[in-house]
Amino acid sequence: MTSVATDSPTTTPSALTGIRVVEFGPYVALPLTGRILGSLGAEVIKVETNKVLDEMAFIPAWSRGAGQPEYQRGKRRITLDVRTDAGRDLILEMVRISDVFMTNFRRNVLDRWGIDFPEIRRQRRDAIIMWQTGLGGHGPYYTYKSFGILVQHLSGVSLMTGLPDEPPGVVNTSYSDYHTGVFQPAGIIAALMRRNLTGKTATLESSIFKSGVATCGPALLDYQVNGRGPQRRGNRDAWAAPHGVYPCAPDPISGDADRYIAISIADDEQWAMFRKAAGDPEWASAPEYETRIGRQRNQDALDDAISVWTRPQKSEDVMQNLQQAGVPAGIVSQGADLNGSSHLNSRNFYQDTQYWEAERGVKATEWVEGESVSWSIPAKMSGTPIAFGNYSNIGQDNAYVFGELLGLTDAEIAELEEAEVIY
């Protein structure tokens, strides 16, 4: 076992102590929801099977599964083939002793396996059900497939990004998955409160599509009221100038030339502070730059002049100089910056963790252990722990869940392993 940090021992009860969640489904959004609930103290049981591994176990390709702790820490991970009769019975038994059942499988699939929502309700009348879908569980697209990173096109955001006449502006992540993953715990905790107060349960359906569109912002209203689509402004802003990223000196350590500083100046007071921090250069005293309107009208020239000023400087130096003068500025962070950030590290944002290198055709118990890193849930709570949680390998908690929680004997567990039910 490599030496990795774990949470400090604590006797403080967690916010969601006593809540048990069955998490049933792969990928990003649903596991993120489970990780958030787990970090808040819920007991999250993740149901998987070695027979059909989550494709995320093999990502990133250069270190297969090293990214998994960020989604899977703080959970009890069990292996169970729910397509078998005994497997179905066991997941339903788990539902009976749990408060929440959450899944991202399609209804026809759950139905085929005998664990559709009416059956969940029969097992546990007051279970909170969170059903996560891609494009929606009902309606014309309910059978349609989607794919994380492409949802930014579907949800309207890529045609709000970049400049007019450019191809859709793309961010290299499936960020709508994260919106969904963080909306869902809010819905689940609220549903638990509602259940405690009224005795009523709830089934909530979310979708990655809706979660993305929900963040299109005031542009949705502007179209309806004024009949116009959003303006693609690149890095510029309707209410601030200068407002953009400016090239800086190559990274002194890596030699990477892809270094930028973002500067955002909303009013004339900040402009005065900028001028002072920049050493009151002559170009900045031009009368056309005195007001925001003037700076907006002359943005091309202004941006060129600022770039000349930033280009020989280190991006961190520009940030520090401007921020100490009160001007909003930030480096465009790279992985090296985040990993080594003394600011983030002083907040214990990252923590080392072990992981297991996934290998196709080899049972997870045989996978080689390695060292990785994961971030903390970014809601630092003063009174209850936000735990990083231990990182279990697939199936590592079988004995706890099937033995301690469900009361199977070692012999029964061994038999079910042999029959590839617990597998």
Partner 1 sequence: MPRFDEYTGEHLIPPYRILDLTDRRAAFCGRLLADYGADVVKVEPPSGDPSRRLGPYPSDSSDPERSLDFLFYNTNKRSITLDLETESGRSLFRRLAADADVIVESFDRHYLYDHGIGFDALRTDNPGLIMASVTPFGNTGEWADYQGDDLVVMAASGYMQITGEPDEPPVRQGNEHSHYPAAQYAAVGILAALYHRDFGGGVGQHIDVSSQEALITYYTDAHPALLWRKLGQNVTRVGTNSTLVIPLGAYPCKDGWIAAGVITPREWDALAEWIHEVTGNDEVLSEVYRGGNQDRAEHIDIITALFLEFAENFTVQELFHEGQRRNLVFLPVNEIADLLADPQLAESGFWYDIEHDDSAIGAVKYPLGIFHSDDVKARSRPAPALGADNAAVYQGELGLTPSELATLKNDGII
Closest distance to partner 1 from the beta carbon of 284 (Å): 19
Exposed, middle or buried: residue 210 (CB in 10 Å: 0-12, 13-18, 19+)? middle
Exposed, middle or buried: residue 286 (CB in 10 Å: 0-12, 13-18, 19+)? middle
Per-residue contact flags (x/-) with partner 1 for residues 133 to 162, judged by CB under 8 A? --xxxxxxx-xxxxxxxxx-xxxxxxxxxx
Instruction: Please say which residue, 18 or 252, places its beta carbon nearer to partner 1.
Output: 18
Listed in sequence order, the residues at least 6 apart from 148 whose beta carbon sits closer than 8 Å to its beta carbon are: 27, 28, 174, 176, 177, 208
Instruction: Say whether residue 125 binds partner 1 (CB under 8 A).
Output: no
List phi, psi (to 5°) of 281: -70, 155
Instruction: Say whether residue 10 binds partner 1 (CB under 8 A).
Output: no
Closest distance to partner 1 from the beta carbon of 374 (Å): 9
Residues 16-75 that bind partner 1 (CB under 8 A): 16-18, 28, 32, 36, 40, 59-60, 62-63, 66-67, 70-71
Instruction: Say whether residue 4 binds partner 1 (CB under 8 A).
Output: no
Closest distance to partner 1 from the beta carbon of 43 (Å): 14
Instruction: Say whether residue 104 binds partner 1 (CB under 8 A).
Output: no
Residues 366-405 that bind partner 1 (CB under 8 A): 372-373, 375-384
Closest distance to partner 1 from the beta carbon of 294 (Å): 19
Instruction: Please say which residue, 204 or 286, places its beta carbon nearer to partner 1.
Output: 204
Give 328-373 as a DSSP string. -EEE---HHHHHT-HHHHHTT-EEEEEEEE--TTS-GGGSEEEEEE
Instruction: Please say which residue, 341 or 420, places its beta carbon nearer to partner 1.
Output: 341
On the CB side of 150, CA atoms within 13 Å amount to: 5
Contacts 24+ apart (CB under 8 A), 295-302: 295/241, 295/242, 295/265, 295/271, 296/241, 299/236, 299/241, 299/242, 302/241, 302/242
Instruction: Please say which residue, 91 or 154, places its beta carbon nearer to partner 1.
Output: 154
Tokens 């919106």 sit at which residue? 179
Instruction: Please say which residue, 345 or 365, places its beta carbon nearer to partner 1.
Output: 345
Structure tokens at 136: 């929606």
Q: How many residues bind partner 1 (CB under 8 A)?
A: 151
Closest distance to partner 1 from the beta carbon of 365 (Å): 24
Per-residue contact flags (x/-) with partner 1 for residues 338 to 367, judged by CB under 8 A? xx--xxx-xx-xx-----------------
Instruction: Please say which residue, 204 or 249, places its beta carbon nearer to partner 1.
Output: 204
Exposed, middle or buried: residue 320 (CB in 10 Å: 0-12, 13-18, 19+)? middle
Q: How many whole angstroms separate alpha carbon 309 and alpha carbon 103?
A: 53
Quick one: which of 26, 114, 294, 326 contacts partner 1 (CB under 8 A)?
326
Q: Give the other-Cβ count within 10 Å of 340's Cβ.
A: 11
Element (H, E) at 87: helix 85-96
Give 212-280 as a DSSP string. HHTTSTTHHHHHHHH--PPP--TT--SS-SSEEEEE-PPPTTT-----EEEEE--SHHHHHHHHHHTT-
* Region from 45-53, 198-206, 279-287, 395-403 binding partner 1, contact rule CB under 8 A: 198-206
Instruction: Please say which residue, 255 or 287, places its beta carbon nearer to partner 1.
Output: 255
Instruction: Please say which residue, 243 or 295, places its beta carbon nearer to partner 1.
Output: 243
Instruction: Please say which residue, 8 or 226, places its beta carbon nearer to partner 1.
Output: 226
Instruction: Say whether residue 101 binds partner 1 (CB under 8 A).
Output: no
Closest distance to partner 1 from the beta carbon of 392 (Å): 19
Quick one: which of 100, 241, 277, 327 contacts partner 1 (CB under 8 A)?
327
Residues 226-285 that bind partner 1 (CB under 8 A): 226, 229-230, 232-235, 237-240, 243-245, 247, 254, 256, 258, 260-262, 264, 266
- Angle, CA 88 vertex, CA 183 and CA 128 arms, to 5°: 30
Quick one: which of 296, 298, 334, 354 contacts partner 1 (CB under 8 A)?
334
Q: 3-state class of 85 per DSSP?
A: helix
